[in-house]
Amino acid sequence: MRIVTLTEETKKDILENLLKRSPNQYGTFEAAVGEIVAAVKEKGDQALFAYTEKFDHARLDKTTVQVTEEEIREAYTLVDEKLTEVIRKALVNIRDYHERQKQNSWFHTTEKGTLLGQKVTPMARVGVYVPGGKAVYPSSVLMNILPAKVAGVSEIIMATPCDAQGKVNPAVLVSAQEAGVDRIYKAGGAQAIAALAFGTESIPKVDKIVGPGNIYVALAKKAVYGNVSIDSIAGPSEITVLADETANPRYVAADLLSQAEHDEMASAILVTTSRSFGEAVSREIQEYLKVLSRREIIEKSLDHFGYILVAADRREAVDTVNSIAPEHLEIVMSNPFEVMTQIRNAGAIFLGEYSCEPLGDYFAGPNHVLPTNGTAKFFSPLSVDDFVKKSSVIYYSREALEEIHRDIEQFAACEQLTAHANAIAARFEGKES
């Protein structure tokens, strides 16, 4: 990994380089995605099955596109029982964490005859997209389904790619069954997003689509937004480690590589106040690369988007982290809890040398669907809130409205909205003005 001394110029260059990974920068793919989305919207199953055969080399029809109970039972026989038990343990942690996020409807009344409140209503049907391709992610199944389940969503539909034989990864199926999914469809890529957004003869339309995916999935979610809601437009995975000389360089190197192995567009960045520590981490990375199975992907990721940034002091280091606004942030310093209070922008924050990023990916409980590519400045992790709607509730008695009706009429007159003013005034015709 390249070691860079932080200056305003180098920080600007690095941030610009990282932003190249945003789905908003991939205009060359938008036309192809738009064509797929339009075809599925117009032709439904016909287009869905044609694209599935083209991209996934699987021939499906109305009778085979939905995963059957028999296929789910078979999946349980193919997954190691120990892994199934781990999935169940992780499920408990994830569910318990999200239970704490639940919000209830609330109402406030006054003696003057008013009632104001907020009604919280779960969505009726949501679509969960689970990616395939270079790796399979049963952990993403749990992270997307469980908050919807906790929120009280009536129907949860999952779409995930199948292989050329029409089979879905068994661990993905087991995770979905354990989490409580209602239906699973063998559909991937932009065509799956379009099917969920508009509905086809086989796949029902949903109210919201959540879940990460490749650039085609991200751009498809962007294209259908407005017809349905989406969680966010996710970019490639990323990690930033904020560390000082008290950290273990071997641990830090391992954690950086844990994200670099996702794909060639992933970003791994160390921000430190010690150049010698940065050099030690770089050496450890080279040692790990000799034995890691996804070495080629990791090397491409580090060559393009990997950095060891040396800051003059802790303040500059923290400011740099806030500018990057990373998806995952590890703070491995002598005082991580104090430093954490200075962090404004991060999807998930891991404190101390034993709170490594994979702990959050799989087991701890907080959601691992996180804002990427700087969007942690204004987006939050996937949560129960993503699966509910909030309606304002307003009630005024005649007596309560009479007390303030002239104020409202004056406000409406100021905006020259006479019909607004009239709707209030009509209720008090014949009264003194």
Instruction: Give the alpha-carbon dihedral of 293, 294, 300, 301, to 10 degrees.
Output: -120
Measure Cα distances from 352 to 140, 296, 329 in Å.
25, 29, 11
Nearest in space to 251 (alpha carbons), one of 224, 285, 292: 285
Residues 45-50: contacts with CB within 8 Å, 24+ apart?
45/200, 45/201, 45/202, 47/191, 48/187, 48/191, 48/192, 48/194, 48/195, 48/200, 48/202, 48/203
Q: Residue 319 corresponds to which tokens in the numbers above?
A: 């400011």
Helices and strands in the chain, H and E counts: 17, 14
Residue 329's Cβ-side half-sphere holds a number of Cα atoms within 13 Å equal to 31
Nearest in space to 230 (alpha carbons), one of 215, 244, 220: 220
3-state secondary structure of 210: strand
Catalytic residues: 327-328
Side chain identity, residue 22: S
How far from each other are the two terminal CA atoms of the chain, in whole angstroms? 77
Which residues, 6 or more positions from 152, have their beta carbon under 8 angstroms from its beta carbon? 122, 387, 388
Q: Residue 416 corresponds to which tokens in the numbers above?
A: 């020259």
Strand-pairing partners, residue 185, are: 66, 159
Per-position DSSP letters for 81-107, written without gaps between them: HHHHHHHHHHHHHHHHHHHTT----EE
Side chain identity, residue 256: L
3-state secondary structure 163-188: CCCCCCCHHHHHHHHHHCCCEEEECC
CB-count exposure of residue 431 (10 Å: 0-12, 13-18, 19+):
exposed
Side chain identity, residue 222: K
Give the number of other CB atoms < 10 A from CB of residue 77. Answer: 8
Q: Residue 322 corresponds to which tokens in the numbers above?
A: 């806030």
